[in-house]
Amino acid sequence: MTPSTTLSTTVAPPALDEIRINTLRFLAVDMVQKAKSGHPGLPLGSAAMAYTLWDRFLKFNPRDPFWPDRDRFVLSAGHGCALLYALLHVTGFDLPLEELKRFRQWGSRTPGHPEYGKTPGVEATTGPLGQGLANAVGMAIAEVALAARFNRPGHHIVDHYTYVLASDGDLEEGISCEAGSEAGHLRLGKLIVLYANNHITIEGSTELAFTEDRMARFAAFGWHVQRVEQSNDVDAVALALKAAREERGRPSLILVRTHIGFGSPHKQDTAAAHGEPLGVEEVRLTKEGLGWPVTPLFHIPDEALEHFRKAITRGSAAQADWESRLKAFAKDNAELAAEFQRVINRQLPQRWDTNLPTFTSADGPMATRIASGKTIAVLNSRLPEMMGGSADLAPSTFTNMDGAGNFEPENWAGRNMHFGIREHAMGAILNGMALHRGLIPFGGTFLIFSDYMRPPMRLAAMNALPVIYVFTHDSIAMGEDGPTHQPVEQLVGLRSIPGMVVIRPADANETVIAWRIAIGRKDGPVALVLTRQALPVLDLARYPGIYEGVVLGGYILADSSSSAKPEIILIATGSEVHLALEARDRLASEGVRARVVSVPSTNLFSMQSEPYRDKVLPPGVPLLAIEAGASLGWNSYVGPQIAVIGVDTFGASAPGPVVMDHYGFTVENVCRQAHKLLRPLKEKP
Ligand SMILES: Cc1ncc(C[n+]2csc(CCOP(=O)(O)OP(=O)(O)O)c2C)c(N)n1
């Protein structure tokens, strides 16, 4: 039997509550109807429980949406955002009624799904189901981690809850299992999920595809689970929320039986309430049925508004109380208080990068994953806000921070995270940690498994979140594990995400700079792409441009030996840069002037000025791109005189150097391709 509590008191909410709940319902309905687009069903069904949470429990200040110790509220079922916008408006956030009337229109602050940064009070971009729930796990992790670091006896400056409103779709998505399992394991007692169980998704009843006992599932994950039979029963919802808040040893799932499209005579409990407006006539019938005036549209009774706006006084008082506690804390712990402000504001400490390692040729050959590990060791000692780990591959990704301890229920001060083999949740948890603020989150796995975490990576980029990914085993050169483990199309795929910066360093020193860029970037994610195999360390005396060059994304590493314009440019990234250097020497002995351009980051390089890019890649000079990844993408660099040595099929299982040979990553082949490219030019009369 499911270890659960079932709560039910009266069904109809008291009159005043009902008016306020209907205010939210019909604001959402009118928004969707006016936009002729959107989802009225979830707002109608979930307004009562959202109201209960926001009215009786949620700690927030509409006048300062981002004060650090607010409770977090994530609407994981982002398609129901009309409800969230209604809540934000009535409680007094800077979201005027006009914005509700412009729901889903160009330039409005009420987009079709909640977008972080666009609407005050929206804590996370949601819409891809399951992400918000996993983000919330990351936020709850950040809360306990910061509490462990900063709270002192008598001083609780980090002390808030993280709430989620999730739907059937959120729980159907696999990520909810990964994140739920992780949250249960970590015993995140201040994470509370309200699950709107309305039995309906787009294709119809959940009986079609979703029949397991969800409460048993979450109980098995180690969660505290409760059931509320009537979502309109605000007292039962409140009772469950109270019990969930008191349960500090386990995260809480409150399954609330809701009714999609509640009150709509023809659409309640049907999929028709899901993704389209109710229709003018049905809106009328629904309003009449629930005792609501049909007009005016966007009606907000005075009493309801007055009541909702008390959130401002309540929230300001909560914030003022926190600020005075922060002052008292600062009095006793001045340094720690300054440190708290620093990390919350995402500022880096003075001289954080002065001790970063420099490598000489004698340190090589060295895999860039090893150089990354050595860099992390130094960063870790300077940046106690670094927190991260790997999806069970730390011995291979070199992401462990020595001396930082394991982050686990008995030690929330630990900073090494063990995400388990849960890449998808790892990505979304990292986003939640970044959204919370106060930490520099990073996560590692093999580059091939970035595929498993692409949805949250895309959202990290969309939300401009400073998250760092450490992706090792970056090409077919990783060898024996074969094509299942050899990334081919991942590089171009990741580079194509708007706002993502991918850096594939060529050696240990480029890796150090890549980390410096990653730590310094505050407005978006950085993916570090690193080798398993050892590479020579570029001699800094011979190649002095490395430091500035990596920052620019691409640079002239080695020019043709004479001062004359190069005849051909070998453009390469990561491990293939060394091949290009060797080929350049061979070509020189064959009388061809070749320049080697290292492009650790095509994303950064494309941000540079045209004159700089033209200096590095002068128009008219033929280009031979060499990268052990899909050739797609390199064509954008050139006119007709381009050739690419890439990998446009899957890889193969054999020792790495053998695979590279077979795929044409040899000096001979590079020189052959270079001559082939040059021949028509030389043959011109
Ligand atoms: C990852 C993902 N897959 C598919 C969708 C498209 N989608 C939007 S809402 C929805 C159905 C959601 O049903 P449910 O979660 O029960 O929400 P409700 O019916 O309560 O509104 C689907 C499939 C999505 N938003 N995200």
Going by alpha carbons, the residue nearest to atom 8 of ligand 1 is 79
pLDDT score at 109: 98
| H helix and E strand count, the chain | 24, 21
Q: Measure 80 CA to ligand 1 centroid, in angstroms.
A: 10
Please indicate whether residue 381 or residue 10 has the higher confidence score (pLDDT).
381
Q: What angle do CA 395, 399, 186 make, to 5 degrees?
A: 90
Q: What angle do CA 245, 246, 248 make, to 5 degrees?
A: 90
- Both tokens of residue 237? 């919802």
pLDDT score at 643: 85
Q: For ligand 1, what atom is nearest to the CA of residue 258?
A: 20
Nearest to 81, CA basis, from 137, 117, 119: 119
Candidates 423, 510, 567, 576; catalytic one: 423
379 lines ligand 1 (CB under 6 A): no
3-state helix, strand, coil in the chain (%, to 5): 45, 15, 40
Q: What angle do CA 218, 220, 226 make, to 5 degrees?
A: 45
pLDDT score at 640: 59
Q: Measure 623 CA to ligand 1 centroid, in angstroms.
A: 47
Going by alpha carbons, the residue nearest to atom 21 of ligand 1 is 42
* Residues in a beta bridge with 257: 197
Q: Measure 572 CA to ligand 1 centroid, in angstroms.
A: 43
19 C-beta neighbours (distance < 10 Å), count:
16
* Residues in a beta bridge with 201: 204
208 lines ligand 1 (CB under 6 A): no
Active site residue 288: no
Going by alpha carbons, the residue nearest to atom 22 of ligand 1 is 202
201 lines ligand 1 (CB under 6 A): yes
Residue to mutate (ligand 1; options 76, 113, 167; most atoms within 8 A of CB): 167
Residue 34 contacts residue 280 (beta carbons within 8 Å): no
Q: Which helix (H) or strand (E) holds 222?
A: none
Residue 645 contacts residue 670 (beta carbons within 8 Å): yes
Confidence of residue 562 (pLDDT cuts 50, 70, 90): confident
Q: Which helix (H) or strand (E) holds 598?
A: strand 594-598
Q: Measure 486 CA to ligand 1 centroid, in angstroms.
A: 33
First to last CA, the chain: 87
Phi, psi of 153 (to 5 degrees): -50, 125
Q: Which helix (H) or strand (E) holds 164?
A: strand 162-167
456 lines ligand 1 (CB under 6 A): no
pLDDT at 55 over 50: yes
Q: Measure 195 CA to ligand 1 centroid, in angstroms.
A: 14
Nearest to 191, CA basis, from 125, 155, 241, 229: 241
Q: For ligand 1, what atom is nearest to the CA of residue 201?
A: 13
pLDDT score at 9: 44
257 lines ligand 1 (CB under 6 A): no
Residue 273 contacts residue 265 (beta carbons within 8 Å): no
pLDDT score at 682: 78
What's the mean pLDDT when you consider all of the chain? 95
CA dihedral (191, 196, 202, 204) in degrees, to 10, reads 140
pLDDT at 561 over 80: no
Residues 6+ apart with CB under 8 A from 283: 29, 30, 33, 277, 294
Confidence of residue 5 (pLDDT cuts 50, 70, 90): low
29 lines ligand 1 (CB under 6 A): no
Distance of CA 561 to the CA centre of its chain: 45
Nearest to 251, CA basis, from 196, 190, 197, 195: 190
Residue 196 contacts residue 165 (beta carbons within 8 Å): yes
Q: Measure 129 CA to ligand 1 centroid, in angstroms.
A: 6
129 lines ligand 1 (CB under 6 A): yes
Q: Measure 203 CA to ligand 1 centroid, in angstroms.
A: 10
Q: For ligand 1, what atom is nearest to the CA of residue 173?
A: 1
pLDDT score at 2: 39
What's the mean pLDDT in 523-542? 97
Residue 37 contacts residue 256 (beta carbons within 8 Å): no
pLDDT (tens digit, 9 = 90+) per residue, 595-620?
999 999 999 999 999 999 999 999 99
Nearest to 121, CA basis, from 165, 158, 84, 69: 84
Q: Measure 114 CA to ligand 1 centroid, in angstroms.
A: 14
Rounded to whole angstroms, the Cα distance separating 215 from 121 reads 30
3-class SS of residue 12: coil
Nearest to 507, CA basis, from 482, 455, 483, 542: 542
Going by alpha carbons, the residue nearest to atom 9 of ligand 1 is 79
pLDDT (tens digit, 9 = 90+) per residue, 364-413?
999 999 999 999 999 999 999 999 999 999 999 999 999 999 999 999 99
* Residues in a beta bridge with 254: 194, 226
Confidence of residue 681 (pLDDT cuts 50, 70, 90): confident
Distance of CA 360 to the CA centre of its chain: 36
Which pTM value belongs to this model? 0.96
Q: For ligand 1, what atom is nearest to the CA of residue 167?
A: 15
pLDDT (tens digit, 9 = 90+) per residue, 344-360?
999 999 999 999 999 99
Nearest to 194, CA basis, from 141, 231, 149: 231
pLDDT score at 8: 45
Rounded to whole angstroms, the Cα distance separating 71 from 189 reads 14
Rounded to whole angstroms, the Cα distance separating 100 from 105 reads 10
- Both tokens of residue 205? 């009843």
Q: Hunting for tokens 């001559």 — which residue is that?
A: 675
Phi, psi of 534 (to 5 degrees): -70, 145
The DSSP line for 530-580 is --SSEEPPPPTTT-TTHHHHHHTS-EEEE--SSSSPPSEEEEE-TTHHHHH
Q: Which helix (H) or strand (E) holds 215?
A: helix 214-220
Rounded to whole angstroms, the Cα distance separating 260 from 198 reads 6
pLDDT at 636 over 90: no
390 lines ligand 1 (CB under 6 A): no
Residue to mutate (ligand 1; options 84, 202, 262, 267; most atoms within 8 A of CB): 202
Distance of CA 544 to the CA centre of its chain: 36
- Both tokens of residue 242? 């109270």
* Pairing verdict, β 642-645 and 623-626: parallel
Nearest to 302, CA basis, from 102, 53, 21, 23: 23
Phi, psi of 167 (to 5 degrees): -120, 180
Q: For ligand 1, what atom is nearest to the CA of residue 128?
A: 26
Is 563 exposed, middle or buried, given 0-12, 13-18 or 19+ CB atoms closer than 10 A?
Answer: exposed
pLDDT (tens digit, 9 = 90+) per residue, 144-154?
999 999 999 99
